[in-house]
């Protein structure tokens, strides 16, 4: 190999950080075979072994440690050059990629990106729908420019973030449910009924766990009958009488306006859940910096838009 590709160096740094070829492959969104190919190509170029296998995974060798230090500088210098070149352009043209969890992706991102495009019509957006944990991992792996999530738990020191909205956790029940006529319920009442949950890496799921723990309940006390991958699928299951669930008040209002479910407040849910736009702690290209500044002044309007009745 006569040249070094930036993606090879990024793969190397990711393996060095995670100590695992398989974890690095998952973060980068490529196969483990591709990770192995990238590392093998670098080892052939430098004529040195870069990693050694240990009981705790892979660790870099002395040669690997030298490359890690210099690879980080090379990638940062390339990014800085890209920022300077982009900043020299007069017009904002390009694509911004965002990994977004369910609630931000369905209810925040559409109006946020539309507002930005009204100001800069030549900018396009590419939205990658994932749960909060995987959205933040995609950002950490440099697969996207931003993440839009409902939790930053565990990542607070790794990124910069802005609150772009907030919501409450509410209970949704079938229209004919025993709790449907109540204005509010306690967690003790909720745990008596079949419950439909989100997957473990969901931001909403983490907030539910936090709500339970702060009130001395355990997740195991919920009578979970199924775990679904999106708020929309939960609304459908609840509307069909499969159980009750705790979801975002933003999504709940839209489901209620469509007469799919009833909303019941949870007495213990007194602290709103915050929704964030998240970015890396480094310089960004001009269009991304402009979008970040726009996000700082964005005000989410929690309104339900519906067609007029005939």
pLDDT at 158: 92
Using DSSP bridges, classify how beta strands 94-100 and 159-167 pair: parallel, antiparallel or unpaired.
unpaired
Of the candidates 193, 175, 171, 199, the residue with the CA atom closest to the CA atom of residue 183? 171
For range 197-202, the mean pLDDT: 84
Q: What are phi and psi of 194, to 5 degrees?
A: -55, 135
At 25-60, the pLDDT tens digits run 999 999 999 999 999 999 999 999 999 988 888 998
- List the beta strands (DSSP E) in 231-285: 245-248, 262-266, 273-280
Question: Do the beta carbons of residue 96 and residue 288 sit within 8 Å?
Answer: yes
At 2-16, the pLDDT tens digits run 578 889 999 999 999
Tokens of 235: 């609304």
For range 278-305, the mean pLDDT: 85
H or E stretch including 30?
none
Percent of the chain with pLDDT over 70: 94
Q: How far apart are CA 140 and CA 156, in angstroms?
A: 12
Residues paired with 273 in a beta bridge: 167
Q: Is 35 exposed, middle or buried (0-12, 13-18, 19+ CB in 10 A)?
A: buried
Q: How far apart are CA 218 and CA 119, in angstroms?
A: 47
Question: Do the beta carbons of residue 239 and residue 255 sit within 8 Å?
Answer: yes
Q: How far apart are CA 17 and CA 28, in angstroms?
A: 12
pLDDT at 107: 87
- 105 or 306: which carries more pLDDT confidence? 105
Q: What are phi and psi of 233, to 5 degrees?
A: -70, -35
Query: What pTM does this model have?
Result: 0.62
Residues paired with 146 in a beta bridge: 98
At 214-264, the pLDDT tens digits run 999 988 899 999 999 888 999 999 999 999 999 989 889 989 999 999 999
CA distances from 33 to 11, 30, 298 (A): 12, 8, 42
Radius of gyration of the chain (CA): 23
The secondary structure of residue 309, as a DSSP letter, is: P
Q: How far apart are CA 39 and CA 201, in angstroms?
A: 30
Calculate helix-pair angle for 249-257, 231-239, nearest 10 degrees. Answer: 40
Domains recognised in the chain with CATH numbers: 6-87 (1.10.10.10), 94-166+273-297 (3.40.190.10), 169-266 (3.40.190.10)
For range 201-223, the mean pLDDT: 88
Q: pLDDT band at 77, cuts 50/70/90?
A: confident
């Amino acid at each position: 190999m006569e040249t070094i590709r930036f993606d090879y160096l990024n793969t190397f740094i990711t393996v060095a950080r995670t100590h695992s070829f398989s974890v690095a492959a998952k973060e980068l969104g490529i196969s483990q075979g591709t990770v192995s190919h990238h590392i093998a190509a670098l080892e052939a170029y430098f004529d040195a072994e870069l990693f050694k296998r240990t009981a705790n995974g892979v660790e870099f060798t002395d040669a690997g440690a030298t490359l890690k230090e210099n690879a980080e500088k090379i990638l940062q210098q390339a990014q800085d050059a890209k920022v300077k070149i982009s900043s020299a352009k007069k017009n904002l043209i390009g694509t911004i990629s965002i990994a977004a969890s369910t609630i931000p992706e369905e209810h925040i991102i559409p109006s946020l990106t539309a507002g930005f495009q009204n100001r800069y019509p030549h900018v396009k957006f590419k939205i990658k729908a994932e749960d909060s944990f995987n959205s933040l991992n995609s950002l950490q792996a440099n697969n996207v420019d931003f993440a839009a999530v409902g939790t930053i738990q565990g990542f607070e020191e790794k990124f910069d973030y802005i609150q772009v909205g907030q919501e409450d956790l509410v209970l949704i029940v079938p229209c004919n449910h025993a709790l449907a006529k109540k204005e509010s319920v306690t967690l003790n009442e909720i745990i008596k009924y079949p419950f439909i949950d989100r997957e473990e890496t969901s931001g909403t799921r983490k907030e539910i766990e936090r709500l339970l723990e702060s009130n001395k309940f355990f997740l195991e006390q919920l009578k979970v009958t199924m775990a679904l991958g999106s708020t929309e699928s939960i609304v459908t299951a609840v509307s069909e009488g499969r159980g009750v669930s705790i979801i975002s008040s933003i999504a709940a209002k839209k489901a209620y306006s469509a007469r799919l479910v009833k909303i019941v407040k949870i007495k213990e849910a007194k602290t709103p859940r915050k929704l964030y736009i998240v970015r890396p702690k480094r310089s960004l290209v001009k269009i991304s910096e402009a979008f970040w500044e726009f996000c700082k002044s964005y005000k989410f309007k929690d309104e339900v838009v519906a067609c007029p009745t005939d």
